[in-house]
Amino acid sequence: MAGPGPGSGLGPGDGGRRSAPRRQAAREPAARTYARALPVVPVRARGLTIEGADGRRYLDCVSGAGTLALGHNHPVVLDAIRAVLDS
């Protein structure tokens, strides 16, 4: 099997240590995203708060397209998704 191809964001011997925004920029060079400008790797989110991999909590003032109306992990939305997945 061949190694990562050009534009994958991973070089020989890189071991995946490049930052998430840098890998994203390599995979999606023309995509518009705020993620490249923000040095936060989110690990969980609820409502308007995002927790980064560094353990710090951030107020989501950028708000991804999926969270504009309801925030992250809205309980009503989660219950509806669980009901569909369990059916």
pLDDT tens column, 21-53: 677 677 766 666 665 566 777 888 888 888 888
Q: Are residues 55 and 45 in the same domain?
A: yes
- Nearest CA among 24, 52, 49, 47 for reference residue 37: 24
15, amino acid identity: G
**Domain tally, the chain:** 2
Tell me if the pTM is above 0.85: no
Q: Are residues 35 and 45 in the same domain?
A: no
Q: Are residues 48 and 33 in the same domain?
A: no
Q: Are residues 7 and 46 in the same domain?
A: no
**Full residue range of the structural domain in which residue 54 is found:** 40-87
Q: Are residues 49 and 81 in the same domain?
A: yes
Q: Are residues 60 and 23 in the same domain?
A: no
Give the max Cα distance, the chain. Answer: 45
Query: 15 with 28: CB under 8 angstroms?
Result: no
> How many angstroms separate the CA atoms of 54 and 41, rounded?
8
Q: Are residues 30 and 45 in the same domain?
A: no
> How many angstroms separate the CA atoms of 4 and 65, rounded?
30
Q: Are residues 57 and 77 in the same domain?
A: yes
